[in-house]
Each structure stands twice: as C-alpha cells, then as structure tokens.
Amino acid sequence: MPDRITHEHPTIDTIRGRVARHGGSRRRIDLPEGADASVGGHGSIRCVVEERDHFAQIDYHGDHLAIIGLYTSLDQAEAGSPAGSKLTDWLTSIGCNSGSSIAIDIIDSGERIGLRRYGSRGVYTIESQPSDTLRDLADRYFG
C-alpha cells in the first residue's frame, strides 16, 4: 500500500527555484547551482504537481539548469514541444511571475521531484519499499 508524505518529511529535501521569462510569453524555473545530481541533469524527470504525476523537461539555460516544460506524458516531455507544455499555465494559476520562488522537493533523487509554490504544502504518494531481508531473498533466488 502506498504511503502519503508531506514535503516536511525527513526523506524529502527541498531546493529553491526562481521563475524566469523564457521566450515571449513562456516561463521557466531556474534551478540553483549544484542541483544537477538532485534532478538527474538535463532530460526528463517524473514530476508531481498538485498531487498529479507529470514529466518535467530540464535543460541548460546558459550555465545552469532550468525546468523549461511540464507535460502529462514522457513522450511529450522528450519531444519537448513548447505548445504542449503546461508549465506557464500552472505558474499563472498559482500567481507566480518572473522572480517568484518555487519549491522543488526532491522525492527520489535523480528520479522524481515535486513542484509547489514556496510556502504551500506538498503531498506525495510513496510506494512502499521492500525490507532489506526481502530484497536479499529476491537477489539470492532471482539474481
């Protein structure tokens, strides 16, 4: 059974991103220096927004990483079409403009992040992990 935890859980680290303009009317979230390992570098990563699963597209903008797209499927994220991105719409819906802070919760380093307005609450579903004993048995018998 999956567990639900908040952003305050001790296993969740949070970094601060900043909203910036990206092209004419689009927006991006600039990541802080050193965020590469937490978000898995550039590419696509699973991303939770308002308790729904999405995929974030992360790419370099100058010398730092930025979230430049938010999509409902991995295929869309990897294709990277700006027209299909929900990032600007989501940022607008929560009242975030250029310069606003966004909390980026590291749910599973390099695999899964959560986005939320800084100061708001994040709730995430976590699949239960097998105990070390069960993992050892599986390794022994299934190799």
Amino acid at position 120, single letter: S
- Per the confidence metrics, is the pTM higher than 0.75? yes
Instruction: Output the pLDDT for position 80.
Output: 82
3-142 adopts what CATH topology?
Answer: At1g16640 B3 domain (2.40.330)
User: At residue 63, does pLDDT exceed 90?
Assistant: no
What is the CA angle 38-39-41, rounded to 5?
Answer: 110
Q: What is the arithmetic mean of pLDDT over 62-91?
A: 91
Question: Residue 138 belongs to what H/E stretch?
Answer: helix 132-142
DSSP 4-26: EEETTSTT-EEEEEEEEEETTTE
